[in-house]
Amino acid sequence: MPWEALIKAVVAGLVASAACGLGALPLLIKSIDVKRHAGAGYSFAGGLMMAASVYNLILPSLRDMGQSSGHLGLAEVLPVIVGILVGAGFLDLTNRFLSEDRIKRFGFKMFTGRTEILIFVAMLIHSIPEGVAVGVGYQAEASDQYAVGALGTYIALAIAVHNIPEGLAVALPLRAGGASIAKCYWAGFLTSLPQPIAAIPAVLLAWLFAPMMPFLMGFAAGAMMYLIVVELIPDALSTDSRTRTAAAFITGFCLMILVQVLL
């Protein structure tokens, strides 16, 4: 039983969850009036999520598939595409399920509306393949047959840094709806909580979860892209100009790219 790798993966996942919550801290700056600029906040969050979908999920999965097979063809790309389509379909079903009556019945007290719930669900899904990646990385690191160095630690650190702007994407709509900073922090933390949970079976069954990564990463990307197109951008355009919406989206997108490059 790889106890050392298991403990490291769980601890790293919890640290990454805490880092996601830290994304709410910039909203403590009094000059940032999120309620006044709610539309720009939605668009900015959409830019962060789109860049995370492309650069943290889709491109890494395609790169890994190409490296493992020696080339990138239809067979390597298909699992990612299927994952994107299934992820978008899943969030569409979630969107249809969240009627006003069900929202009241299930008592989503942390959230002010459907958009905030969908953001929470999408980011929750996004955390699952990240947790699997951490678990598989630590298991590979613990295996004598792989010369991978501190692979698990590197993956966990990269995810923790990425989680900070992703936590901001979760916090912005909540703050615009009147949520406290503490509630925004815990919402970010909870969206990342699947990371230490998913890391456990990934360490114990690395041989099973490693081949599933392209589909899981595509699934998470599809869910977030659906959310951006169906909820965030329309909500932003309903309260702000097209120019400001575009500017906020591009700014969020570039910020996430900058985080990616700095790592």
Q: Mean pLDDT for each consecutive 10-residue tract of the chain (263 residues)?
A: 78 89 85 75 88 87 81 86 94 79 59 73 85 81 56 77 84 82 89 88 79 88 91 88 93 88 71
Rounded to 5 degrees, what are φ and ψ at 144?
Answer: -65, -25
Which amino acid belongs to residue 233?
Answer: I
pLDDT value at residue 52: 86
CB 245 within 8 Å of CB 44: no
pLDDT value at residue 78: 93
Q: Which H helix or E strand runs over 144?
A: none
Q: What is the DSSP letter of 70?
A: S
CA–chain centroid gap for 7, Å, is 23
Helix, strand or coil, per DSSP, at residue 178: coil
Rounded to 5 degrees, what are φ and ψ at 2?
Answer: -80, 70
Query: Which residues have a Cβ under 8 Å from the Cβ of 137 and sit 6 or more positions away?
Result: 9, 148, 151, 152, 153, 154, 155, 156
Query: Which residues have a Cβ under 8 Å from the Cβ of 39 and sit 6 or more positions away?
Result: 235, 236, 237, 238, 239, 240, 244, 245, 248
Which amino acid belongs to residue 123?
Answer: M
Helix, strand or coil, per DSSP, at residue 228: helix
Closest Cα to residue 191, out of 35, 16, 27?
16
What is the rounded CA–CA span in Å between residue 198 and residue 212?
Answer: 13
Domain limits, the chain? 3-23+37-262
CB atoms within 10 A of CB 42: 29
What is the rounded CA–CA span in Å between residue 20 and residue 68?
Answer: 31
What is the rounded CA–CA span in Å between residue 33 and residue 54?
Answer: 29
Paired tokens of 158: 């990269």
pLDDT value at residue 145: 45
pLDDT value at residue 95: 81
